[in-house]
Structure 1
Amino acid sequence: MLHKAEEWRVIGHAPKIKMMKEHGRHLRLDDEAERKLTMGGLACNWRPRTRDLFRDIVILMRDTGMRNERELFRMRIENLDWQNRVIFVPDSKTAEGRRLVPMSGRVFEILRTRCDARQEGWVFPSKRSALGI
């Protein structure tokens, strides 16, 4: 609007205002939020397999901080380093997103159970999608 006022010669110059850089939001699930989410999953009329999947995803997202669709759901067994207990994230929303994510004890157990004896493929395979969930 000030640029129009300058163009119409109502004011001499439109002020230049330098925008401050916004910091990203930092949302973390605490114990209470995790409990509410898992209890909500139990209250849903889901099959046991779906309930377990939801619970595992809530725990993985909380303990690793990984994003759901691009990082978590596209997780491949080949990117899990069982020895060093880290997850390699090869594709992320940002360039800085390529990283190694440490596995908590809970994450290690969930991934071990989900991957079973498989050595490759999706951690969360799906019948409908070639990309995982």
Structure 2
Amino acid sequence: MMEGMTTAPGQSPAVRQGLRHPLDPDPARSTKARAVFALGLIAALTGLFLGGVVPATVALQLSRQARREAYASGGFLTGGAWLRQGERLAWIGLGLATVTVVLAVVYGLVRLAEAPYSQDFAPNVN
């Protein structure tokens, strides 16, 4: 039935999928991928308040583990889109935290530069 089917006009015939082995596990979404996405979202939302550094770091470490497990599973663990989005959000959270630290340092340096360097005595003191 699938022998003469094509996917679109002008293309080669569609390849027939082989039967799955009965002992192969069903594809399942990785729970670590959801956790990476949730931690990345928290990191992006709290990045300006420097609270996003910890969840972003945990998300990036967890994403490494999830990628290793997905590779080792041979395609039976899904959730790559959640993983990529979580990593992006974690990097955004780290970037926002970095911007906050840089702005705080610049503000502190400007305030320090405006401060008088010597002690200001009253006019009647020698």
Same structural fold, with TM-score higher than 0.5 when normalized by the shorter chain: no
Structure with the higher helix share, 1 or 2 = 2
TM bracket, shorter-chain basis: under 0.3
Question: TM-score scaled by structure 2?
Answer: 0.22
Structure 1 or 2: larger strand share?
1
TM-score by length of 1: 0.21
**Bigger radius of gyration:** 2
